Every structure is written in structure tokens, then in C-alpha cells.
A and B are shown apart, each in its own frame.
Chain A
């Protein structure tokens, strides 16, 4: 299994509070991703990072920010949580060039279940 941990694994918070989710990897992979999983939507990309301090938006980035100060850590912050952000959040990593086909496998963490009341 890829060395990816997410913390916390479960969190309940109230509307309007800030929340930070952490993804930590031990694989030294350059790319890291944050997805949210919701019924009827599959997984949708929130933000991704292609190196330390290099990040970009995904398809559902509104209300979220990210930071990556070290290769191994990728933080997702909800500045002011809303009930619509209740979801399961997954982190993923990949490393360009590991696959000779040019399509690099993404490896996923175990997820964080966030409930915003």
C-alpha cells in the first residue's frame, strides 16, 4: 500500500468554523490531489499540487484553499465550513514518469469523513 495517511479520519464541526484536513505521504511523489466524494457525483477534484508551493484549482474549488510547504504534506482548509461541504475527502498522490505508458496511477488515502452541522 502507498504510504498515505489522512487526519483526522472523522470530524464533526459547526457551520462557520474553519477546518483543516491533512494529507501526509511517505512516497516522495510530486503530485498530490484533494477530492470530495458525494453520492451521485463520484469523486470530484478540489485542488491539486504539482510541487512545493505549486497548487492549482480543480472543478469544485470554491470555499476551499490548500497549501503545500513540504513535499510530504498537503493541507486542505475550509475557511468557513458550510453544510454543503459535508462529504468524504480523499487525498491522492502520483509521480510523473513512473509508468512507461505516460499515464501515472494515482494512489489514494483512506479518506476523512467531515460532517458540518
Chain B
């Protein structure tokens, strides 16, 4: 079946460091891919998405490119801030009538000043 695999956390970085959080997927078709972010004590917020191969999603300095050849959707940011500390979830969906999301296990990012 379809699944999403994320790198284990926690990821601990110093402020202004470069961030990469790896995400790979297994899919029987051609899904859309998402990154959601969960700040402490809150629900999930959409960070960015890409709906087809080679699309790049971007928001708030974060980027991720839909790579069909490597079935990957890695999240990157050039310079992290303390306020980026959160749990990041990679997810896929085929959209359609039900639009069900399949999530990875989440990666905790801790940014230290």
C-alpha cells in the first residue's frame, strides 16, 4: 500500500543553520505531496504542497521539490530560526472524492539560539 517515510528525529540545529528533513514515499499512482507543521500545543498547518512531478512548493523560506525518480519530497530551509521549532509531517493524497491523507511519523525540529 501507499506509505510515507520520514527521517527520525529529533533534529537539533543552531539558529541560521541549513535544514533538510528527508521524506520518501511509496505510491501506486501519482499522488500530491504535502508538508504540514505542528507547533507545540497546536493543530497541524499546511506548510507547502506540490501536485505533480518536478513541482516545487515553497512557503516561509521552506522549499520542497517533488522528485518522482527518487520518490522523494525533502524539506529544506536555508537559515532556520528558533521559531521554526516544531514537528514536521510529510503526507500524500490522491485527492479525489475523499481526499484522504497518508502521513509520515513526523520529525521534531529543535532550533537552539
In the complex, which of the residues B41, B89, B96, B101 has the most CB atoms of chain A within 10 Å of its own CB atom? B101
With both chains docked as a complex, state the minimum distance between the C-beta of A114 and any C-beta of chain B, in angstroms: 15
Q: How many residues of B contact A (CB 8 A)?
A: 24
1/0 per residue A81-116: CB within 8 Å of B? 000000000101010100001111111111100000
In the complex, which of the residues A40, A43, A90 has the most CB atoms of chain B within 10 Å of its own CB atom? A43
Q: Is the pair A108, B93 in contact by a Cβ cutoff of 8 Å?
A: no
Which secondary structure dominates chain B's binding surface?
Answer: loop
Q: Is the pair A90, B43 in contact by a Cβ cutoff of 8 Å?
A: yes
Q: Is the pair A40, B51 in contact by a Cβ cutoff of 8 Å?
A: no
Given contacts A42-B105, A101-B32, contact A108 B98 (CB under 8 A): no
Q: Is the pair B98, A50 in contact by a Cβ cutoff of 8 Å?
A: yes
List residues of chain A with CB within 8 A of the CB of B46: 105-107
List residues of chain B with CB within 8 A of the CB of A22: none
Task: Please name 13 pairs of A and B residues whose Cβ atoms are closer than 8 Å in the assembled complex, sorted by A.
Answer: A40-B105, A42-B106, A50-B98, A56-B98, A96-B97, A96-B99, A101-B51, A103-B49, A103-B93, A104-B95, A106-B101, A108-B36, A108-B45
Listed from nearest, the 10 A-B pairs whose CB atoms lie closest are: A108-B43, A42-B103, A103-B32, A103-B95, A108-B44, A101-B51, A42-B105, A43-B103, A110-B43, A102-B95
